Amino acid sequence: MKTFLLSMGLTLTCAVVAVAADADGFVSLFNGRDLTGWVNANCAPETWSVREGIIHCTGRPTGALRTTRQYENFILEVEWRHLSRSGNSGVFIWGTPIAAPAVPFLRGIEVQVLDHGYAEDYEKQNGKKSDWFTTHGDVFPIHGATMKPFGRHSGDRSFPSEDRSKGTPEWNHYRIVCINGVLRLSVNGKEVSGGEDCNYRKGYLALESEGAPVEFRIVRIKELPSSQTPPSLTAPEDTGLRTIFTGLDLRGWKTNAAIVQRWGARGERLSLRAGEANPDATLWSEKDYGDAEFVFDCRPSKPAEGKPLTPPTVVVRGVELKLADASAGTYQRYSITVKGREIVVKRGDKDSQRVTLPSDATVRGPFGLRDNGAALELMNLYGREL
């Protein structure tokens, strides 16, 4: 009996050791059932879903699905495949919680996920192979991030040393090792590209939606000891801002005939057509807000020669806010914070205006975009309750 119990004990001990060895310190970032642990950074609700244990992305609109927390030093393994020829996607490393100003992408280091048809189409259209991208695992910084590329490169874009990726519908395996601002990518079992001196070097991880259906079936990570990355090299923390625009349509906003005639969504942008100003065409959020913060990028149209700019106008808690410092023809990021009886408007990082709410202001109300008659584009609309 003692021999039997000893044997059983050794068997169980070996089994536990075997499981630990198989795990090898990796933790799955995807539970195979739903998107727990992930945040829709700026896509439509249906852009990202789980189908038969696989993360599925429609590709529309362009945007990202990111982790709920930041990562610093780690080994990340991802398996992906495109579902159509010429598909485009990516894995973002050390990214921001929301999109960078004026673009639908997070700021960060992108590990390219591109189908071979993309390069084939380029060669057919231009009569030569591309000298600025490949479909085998380019690594490059985007929209404010920086990186010194390894090996063969174009600008700050690191090209792979070998062509190792497989075309649709085959699966590919990426192993991304990130330590102290150095990133190394292995494609299907061999290191091919990367870079150093990355900024940021601590931030969110994300999967990209960019125009075509793509799937991810393994997303797992092994965290490594911290190198105490300073705040200057760390992405901003998630403050709870969540997208209030699908990038595809007017879901989440109250509509009527006047609004549908004047407002539209195209290319991740919300646009107002020029015409006579119509207060009935003011676009209101379906959700009411009390104390809250709103972030958005806006681009007013250029006025006719000799005419002044018609400033974009938003409505918060029943108060009109004219963005008189907006620049025509270019995107600028605004944040509006209403707390108590004070409204603070910022353009970029600088205060633009401060407004005191009247004593009879509504306690809660929708966020509004006025139809002021001038053509206007907005993108990256976010909101959060305070």
- pLDDT tens, residue by residue, 67-126: 999 999 999 999 999 999 999 999 999 999 999 999 999 999 999 999 999 999 989 999
pLDDT at residue number 19: 34
pLDDT at 23: 58
Query: What's residue 13's pLDDT?
Result: 39
Report pTM: 0.90
Model confidence pLDDT, tens digit, residues 167-216 = 999 999 999 999 999 999 999 999 999 999 999 999 999 999 999 999 99
- Is residue 281 pLDDT above 60, yes or no? yes
Q: Which of 23-27, 35-39, 95-99, 353-357 has the lowest mean pLDDT?
A: 23-27
User: Do 253-385 and 23-238 have the same topology in CATH?
Assistant: yes
- The H or E element spanning position 313 is strand 313-316
Fold of 23-238: Jelly Rolls (2.60.120)
Give me the phi and psi of 321, to 5 degrees please. -125, 110
| Whole-number pLDDT of residue 2 | 37
Q: Residue 136: its pLDDT value, please?
A: 96
Among 2-11, 158-167, 259-268, the least confident range? 2-11
Say whether pLDDT at 52 is over 90: yes
pLDDT of 346 above 60: yes
Least confident of 19-33, 165-179, 249-263, 337-351: 19-33
Q: From its phi and psi, is residue 349 left (phi > 0), alpha (psi between -120 and 50) or beta?
A: alpha
Q: What is the pLDDT of residue 6?
A: 37
How does residue 15 score in pLDDT terms, banded at 50, 70 and 90?
very low
Q: Is the pLDDT of residue 14 over 60?
A: no
The answer to whether 191 and 36 have CB atoms below 8 angstroms apart is: no
How many helices and strands, by DSSP H and E, does the chain display?
A: 3, 30
Tell me, what's the pLDDT at 20? 36
pLDDT digits (tens, 9 = 90+) for 362-381: 889 999 999 999 999 999 99
**Close Cβ partners of 64 (under 8 Å, ≥ 6 residues apart):** 41, 42, 43, 92, 95, 99, 105, 106, 206, 207, 208, 209
Q: What is the distance between the alpha carbons of residues 11 and 4, in angstroms, rounded to a whole number?
A: 11
347 touches 360 (CB < 8 A):
no
Return the pLDDT at 360.
85
Which tokens hold the place of 362? 């509504």
Q: Is 367 exposed, middle or buried (0-12, 13-18, 19+ CB in 10 A)?
A: buried
Average confidence (pLDDT) over 30-37: 96
CATH fold, domain 253-385, is Jelly Rolls (2.60.120)
CA-nearest of 230, 235, 247, 134 to 185 is 134
Mean pLDDT of 335-350: 95
Q: What angle do CA 140, 142, 145 make, to 5 degrees?
A: 95
Map out the domains of the chain as residue ranges: 23-238, 253-385
Q: Among residues of the chain, what percentage have pLDDT more than 70?
A: 94
Stretch 259-266: mean pLDDT, rounded?
94
Confidence (pLDDT) at 305: 80
Q: Average pLDDT, whole number, for the chain?
A: 92
- The pLDDT assigned to 308 comes to 84
Length of the chain counted residue by residue: 386
Q: Has residue 44 got a pLDDT over 80? A: yes
- Secondary structure in 3-state letters for 222-274: EECCCCCCCHHHECCCCCCCEECCCCCCCCCEECCHHHHHHEEEECCEEEECC
